[in-house]
Amino acid sequence: MRLVRGVLCALAFLPAAKGMEVKVLSPIPRPEPKAVEVPPAPHKVWVVYEVKPGDALEAIARRFGVDPRHILWSSGLKDARLYPGQRLLIPIVDQEADAPPRLPPGVEAYRVRPGDTLEAIAKRFGVSLLDLVSANPTLESLDRLVVGSELYIPRKAKGLVVVLGEGQTLLDLAERFGLSPVELARANGVKNPLALRPGDRVLIPGLQAKTTYERLLAKQEAERRARLEAERRRQEELRRLAEQRRRQQEAQRRQAQVRQVSYREGGMRWPLANFQITTYFGGRTPFQRFHTGIDLAAPAGTPIYAAKAGRVEVAGWSSVGYGFHVVLDHGGGLETLYAHMSRIAVRAGQWVEAGQVIGYVGSTGWSTGPHLHFEVRVNGLVKNPLSYLP
């Protein structure tokens, strides 16, 4: 490759001969490196072996099923010469290091799926909740399961399933639970008690996690009561809000009834349907007279209605500026006056009902435009009409 690059560089600097074309070759493209998946490093253990007379490296390697070079590397040797009493480190790959925890015979692993409950799983596999809790004594709740977590199902074997701790043996468990090591080994299908590793599950036959089960039942009942209490409070709040709305509606209904009663017994209705108040009752500027009523502006010819039922006391022309006007006597000293009409629709002495047309808007008398001058009098004294209108 260096020779080719040197030739290419030399050619690049040579002068071109007459009639001769020099081309510079592009470098040969290199193939893209391939992605290589590196497997995880194997777990190894080392066996210390003392060399005996007549031992050879090849024979020892074959006996342990390893490469002789691995023994050399592990033991720090430069050659294959051995001598009696020499200690060798034999690297052995631990095939079971990455294996899943060992389960007792008759116990199966189950992966929790969405929607699973402990009760549903127990029914599906035909076991009791107590048996299921005994096989999973680290459960925190009878109602809540973590999706993807692993449960152990005692399909054939029943008992307490525990985890073998670090540095613990089957003999330790037998002594702890008062069982014979042979009985415990037989229940777990173990021929060599020392073959179990930390993390393996061990079945303790004849025992059940009753204390754990009762604690979980008590927790379940407490959570159920908490949910019921929360629901009771929610329903109580909903009832309170509903009662509050009902009271508000009742108050509004009563107010409407009061307005209706007030209108029937002593209140008045507006004498026009569509209008604009242009002048209110009371004093105006220092240079204007006291206004004895309210002025309601509306187009000429707009119907005027009786504000309250009564008898027509006056229906005619006024000499003091009211123009064509009507006065109704409602009894008890109460009177209403309607002035500046363009035309009168009732006659003196006639009885009229509230809302009956008694005339039409005009601009007669002392008026500058079409409007209704409306007055309320009590025992001959003028009152503010807005106090009697809705």
Number of Cβ atoms within 10 Å of the Cβ of 60 = 18
Helix (H) or strand (E) holding 174: helix 170-177
How far apart are the C-alpha atoms of 259 and 269, rounded to whole Å?
Answer: 11
User: Which tens digits make up the pLDDT trace of 62-73?
Assistant: 888 888 888 888
Q: How does residue 288 score in pLDDT terms, banded at 50, 70 and 90?
A: low
Helix (H) or strand (E) holding 108: strand 107-111
Fold of 44-93: Membrane-bound Lytic Murein Transglycosylase D; Chain A (3.10.350)
Interval 88-117 mean pLDDT: 80
Q: How does residue 4 score in pLDDT terms, banded at 50, 70 and 90?
A: very low
How far apart are the C-alpha atoms of 132 and 119, rounded to whole Å?
Answer: 9
Helix (H) or strand (E) holding 203: strand 201-205
Token readout for 78 is 């430069």
Q: From 1.20.1440.230, 3.10.350.10, 3.30.70.100, 3.30.70.260, which CATH number describes the 107-208 domain?
A: 3.10.350.10
User: Which tens digits make up the pLDDT trace of 36-82?
Assistant: 343 444 455 677 889 999 898 888 888 888 888 888 888 888 888 89
Report CA Rg, the chain: 55
User: Which tens digits make up the pLDDT trace of 289-346?
Assistant: 789 999 999 999 999 999 999 999 999 999 899 999 999 999 999 999 999 999 999 9
C-alpha distance from residue 342 to each of 48, 94, 329, 387 (Å): 130, 118, 21, 27
361: pLDDT strictly greater than 60: yes
233: pLDDT strictly greater than 70: yes
Token readout for 226 is 């908490």
* Residue 110 phi, psi dihedral angles, 5° rounding: -130, 130
Interval 120-146 mean pLDDT: 91
Amino acid making up residue 134:
S
Residue in the structure block whose two tokens are 């009786």: 306
Higher confidence at residue 33 or residue 381?
381
Residue 390: per-residue pLDDT: 85
Interval 147-175 mean pLDDT: 88
Helix (H) or strand (E) holding 9: helix 2-13
Residues 6+ apart with CB under 8 A from 47: 64, 89, 90, 92
Residues 6+ apart with CB under 8 A from 169: 193, 194, 196
Residue 25: per-residue pLDDT: 42
Residue 344: per-residue pLDDT: 97
284: pLDDT strictly greater than 70: no
How far apart are the C-alpha atoms of 181 and 169, rounded to whole Å?
Answer: 10
Residue in the structure block whose two tokens are 């959570």: 223
Amino acid making up residue 152:
Y
Range 276-387 has CATH code 2.70.70.10: yes
For residues 320 and 307, is the Cβ–Cβ distance under 8 A?
A: no
